[in-house]
Every structure is written in structure tokens, then in C-alpha cells.
Amino acid sequence: MFSTSKLIRRHSPLSFWAQWIALLVLLIVAGFVGLAFSDETLADSHRLLGVLLAAILCLFYPRVGVFTRYRPPGAALMFVTAAWSVAILALLGVLFVFGITLHLDRDFLVAFYLAGWFAHAVVVLATSYLFESARSRRIEAPVVIVGSGELARRIHWGLSRNSFLPDKVVGIVDDVDPEAATDSVDAPFLGRLDDLNWVVQNYDVQKVYIALPLSRSAQVQKALSLAAESSIDVIWAPDIFALDLLNPGVRELAGVPLLAVSESPLSSLGGAYVKSLIDVVLATSAIVILSPLFLLIAIAVRLSSNGPVFYKQERHGWDGAIFEIWKFRSMRTHLEGEGKVTQATRNDNRVTPLGRFLRRTSLDELPQLFNVINGTMSMVGPRPHAVVHNYEYAQKIGSYMSRHRIKPGITGWAQVNGLRGETDTLEKMSRRVVMDIEYINRWSPGLDLWILLRTPVALLSRRGAY
């Protein structure tokens, strides 16, 4: 009898666990190296430091694919350097935020960081060497793709560019016009579905990838039945690209496979924890460093025109929850009709001269760092729009409200890609929504850091900000 308890299997390769074990052992050695270069002896403070660092690495590294994605040696070395640096900064941030004082010697921290970096370098370079050696001895395995549409094209592209898989596509099998099939997938057409077993025998096929769309479910079943008649590996690729996806993923419940087609990337505790940790550390640091600038802007706003220093407005946040966003006031005080919010436009006479400068440089957004601290916003995410605008655009743009499946941000993927400021046409807003959903689907701590690094360049462009 078939047991569903083994339906979902975790395919973590041996290399994944080998790299983790090697790194943890080398980091313990790095800790003793740090002690050797300082006047300290092993104490409870060092043990606590090790536990906190291990927790951060276990949450952060899998998220950014430190040991699960192959990279060339040079790129891998640069990547782990950045990842290790972020992990150490996050560790120091945790100590600062929670007021944990360990009285660690500076020489110990510097020596530990450098020895830890060397440990990472040893692991990634050794892994790259072993992969290269294995590839040079690997024998190619002939495989066939059943299908010729977009899904088949993606699989063929992925197999062709992954030099560390032994699979070599020898052709495609499908019940369509041969010329149309080869136009879609750049591989020889070997026959129709009824010819599958003949193809397997004559081309010494070791594996079959079934890549047929949802609309051809009957042929999927036929292909599975035919492939089962041969002693070969069979892999079925569900056509999830035909669905309207948001942060898709696969998991299991009681052994039953579940496909998440619309889910917030912050639904998992690890993702929410990592993003919140980075937010709190960066926002707190920015507030401390920029506090003199806060004071100067507040005084300038108060003296430039009558009205409060801060402007507050209701916006939709994570999962549609309404919160109050903070900004430095950039407009003269005015009244608008009930349920109406007018976007700022070029040469808008409501904007003060100081406000125009603040808006173009985005300095009016600085008080949102306090929104980040209280958890209603993030450093990076889709920009929150006025509530009335959300209701309006939700009726005109499909999946518009999906952009609220993650915390709104001070900056975002759309903003660093030129979609900043006024959205005076439906087409501009649609492009922004596409970028926001792309960000949610691609979210990772590494992407957030990349967006933060690109934000100053986007601000200098001044495009769209009035």
C-alpha cells in the first residue's frame, strides 16, 4: 500500500551538509584563533556569541542560497564575503538592540572576523574544486522532454546551461506539428507520444521530463503511463507558470504535497524574523546617525510655512492593515474633498520651495524610519499608496492588492528601476505593480541590500519626484 508519509522528500545534496559541517568546524577554529590574537580566555560571553551567530547563520544563509546555488569561484568568494559581513553586522545589531553587553576585546572581534572569512573562503574554493573535478569525470545521461511549449522550453534552457547536471537533452516528444515544436524548443523532434517507448530504447534514454500544460492533463497521464513501462527515471514538471503566482512554493501536510500559489514571503517565521532584524538594525542606526539632519529639517519646515512639522496619512500596510505614515510636511496646509487625495504634480503650487527640495531628494520620507521601528513599514518594499487610490486602482489593475502581501517600504524595487514619484497614467501604475509583485516573488535579504545600495543612485536621477 502506498504511504503518503514519503511522498515529499527533501533533496538536500550531500554537498550542502558537508559545506555546513565544514564551515561550523572552521568557525569554531576561527573563534580560538580570535582568542589567540587577544588577551582573552574562553568564557560564557564567547559561548553566547557563538550561539547567537549560529542562529543568524541558520536563518540567513539558506535564504540567500549560500550553499544551495553553484557560483564560479570568484563570484562565490565575493558572495560569501558579503554574506559573512552582513551576518557579523546583524550579530552586532542584535547585541545593540537587546542591550547585551559581552565586553569583547576589539582584537578578538577583528581576528575572529578575518579567520571566519578565511574559513568561508576555504569551504567555497574547496567545493568549487570538487565540483570541477566531478564534472570532468561525469558521463552524460541522455534525457527526453515530453512537450514543446513554454514549460518545455524553460526546462531545456535550464538543463542546457547547468553544466553540473549530467542530463543531456537528446530531443523532444509531443503530439504537435514537428516544425512548430522545434521552433519553440531548440532540440530535435523525435516522435509523438505513442513513440515514447521506442525513443527511450533507441536513444538509450535514462530520464524523461514531462512538461505538458494544464490544458493537456489527459496527455500528461498518458505520458506517465508510457514512461512507467520502461526502467527509467520520470520527472513531471507541473505547469505552475499558467497560474497567477505570488511567491510560489512547495511543502507538505501529512505527506500530501501542497503548492502555494499566492503567499506572503513573510508567512514563515524565518523570513519575517530576518527582514525585521535587518529593518530594526538599519533604521535605528540611520536615526542615530541622521538625528542632526532630522532636527535641521524640522526647524526649516516649521519656519518655511505655517503648519505642523510632520504630515500623517492613512495607508494600506502588510496584508491590507491600515496604518498612519509619517513624512516631513512638504505642502502648504490645505483642505481636499472627503475621500479625495490629489497626487503632487510638476509645478504644483501646493508644494513649498523647501518641500520641493525635500520631495526631490526624498528627505521628506525620513520620518518613515520611525514607521520601520514600530513595525508598520520596512526599509525595502512596495511604496504605500493613499487608501483611496488603492480602492480606485484595485478595480482597474489585476492583482493590484497583491502588492500588500509584504510590508510597504521606504524604498523599493520599482523606485530603483525608474518608477518613482507621480503615477499620472494607468500604464505607469501598472508597471509599478508589476515591479512590486516581481519584488515579492524574488524577495531575499540579499535583494533588499542590493536595493538599498541602488537607492542613492535612483535619488540622484530625480525622475518623477515633484
Q: Are residues 117 and 167 in the same domain?
A: no
**Which of these three, 137, 155, 180, is where a domain ends?**
137
Per-residue CA distances from 181 to 64, 145, 174, 208, 235 (Å): 36, 11, 8, 17, 20
Question: pLDDT value at position 466?
Answer: 47
**Which of these three, 137, 165, 200, is where a domain ends?**
137
Question: pLDDT value at position 292?
Answer: 92
> What is the number of H-type helices and E-type strands within the chain?
15, 11
Q: Are residues 44 and 128 in the same domain?
A: yes
Q: Are residues 104 and 174 in the same domain?
A: no
Q: Are residues 383 and 420 in the same domain?
A: yes
Q: Is the pLDDT of residue 463 over 60?
A: no
Q: Are residues 306 and 418 in the same domain?
A: yes
Who has greater pLDDT, 128 or 1?
Answer: 128
Q: Is the pLDDT of residue 60 over 80?
A: yes
- The CA distance from 122 to 149, in Å, is 43
Who has greater pLDDT, 188 or 238?
Answer: 188
Asked if residue 257 belongs to a domain, the reply is: no
Asked if residue 132 belongs to a domain, the reply is: yes
Asked if residue 250 belongs to a domain, the reply is: no
Mean pLDDT value of segment 295-317: 90
Question: pLDDT value at position 347?
Answer: 61
- The CA distance from 299 to 30, in Å, is 50
Q: Which residues fall within 8 angstroms of residue 67, CB to CB, at 6 or more apart? A: 15, 16, 19, 20, 61
Asked if residue 210 belongs to a domain, the reply is: yes
**Least confident stretch, 223-237, 327-341, 390-404:** 327-341
Average pLDDT of the chain, as a whole number:
83
Question: pLDDT value at position 8?
Answer: 47
Question: pLDDT value at position 374?
Answer: 92
Mean pLDDT value of segment 253-269: 75
**Which of these three, 203, 226, 242, is where a domain ends?**
242
Asked if residue 253 belongs to a domain, the reply is: no
Asked if residue 247 belongs to a domain, the reply is: no
- Yes or no: say if 45 and 104 are a contact pair by the CB < 8 Å rule: yes
Q: Are residues 107 and 148 in the same domain?
A: no
Q: Is the pLDDT of residue 341 over 60?
A: no
Question: pLDDT value at position 160?
Answer: 82
Phi-psi group of 169: left, alpha or beta (phi > 0 → left; psi -120 to 50 → alpha; rest → beta): beta
Q: Are residues 84 and 171 in the same domain?
A: no
Radius of gyration of the chain (CA): 27
Q: Tens of pLDDT along 354-413? A: 888 888 888 889 999 999 999 999 999 999 988 888 888 888 887 888 888 899 999 999
Q: Tens of pLDDT along 418-432? A: 887 666 688 888 899
H-helix or E-strand spanning residue 208: strand 207-210
Q: Is the pLDDT of residue 54 over 60?
A: yes
Q: Is the pLDDT of residue 312 over 80?
A: yes
Q: Tens of pLDDT along 110-166? A: 899 999 999 999 998 888 887 777 667 767 889 999 988 888 888 988 888 776 678
Q: Is the pLDDT of residue 2 over 50?
A: no
**Least confident stretch, 101-105, 198-202, 269-273, 315-319:** 101-105
H-helix or E-strand spanning residue 207: strand 207-210
Question: pLDDT value at position 263?
Answer: 79
Q: Is the pLDDT of residue 338 over 60?
A: no
Asked if residue 3 belongs to a domain, the reply is: no
Per-position DSSP letters for 308-361, written without gaps between them: -SEEEEEEE-GGG-EEEEEEE--B------TT--PPP-TT-TTB-HHHHHHHHH
Q: Is the pLDDT of residue 55 over 80?
A: yes
Q: Is the pLDDT of residue 295 over 90?
A: yes
Structural domain harbouring 152: 141-242
Q: Is the pLDDT of residue 6 over 70?
A: no
3-state secondary structure of 64: helix
Q: What is the CATH classification number for the domain harbouring 212?
A: 3.40.50.20
Question: pLDDT value at position 252?
Answer: 72
Q: Are residues 64 and 86 in the same domain?
A: yes
337 confidence band (pLDDT: 50, 70, 90): low
346 confidence band (pLDDT: 50, 70, 90): low
Q: Are residues 384 and 402 in the same domain?
A: yes
Which segments of 254-291 are extended strands (E)? 256-260
- Yes or no: say if 402 and 246 are a contact pair by the CB < 8 Å rule: yes
Who has greater pLDDT, 344 or 211?
Answer: 211
Asked if residue 263 belongs to a domain, the reply is: no
Q: Are residues 99 and 158 in the same domain?
A: no
Q: Are residues 323 and 218 in the same domain?
A: no
| Domain count across the chain | 3
Q: Are residues 317 and 442 in the same domain?
A: yes
Question: pLDDT value at position 372?
Answer: 95
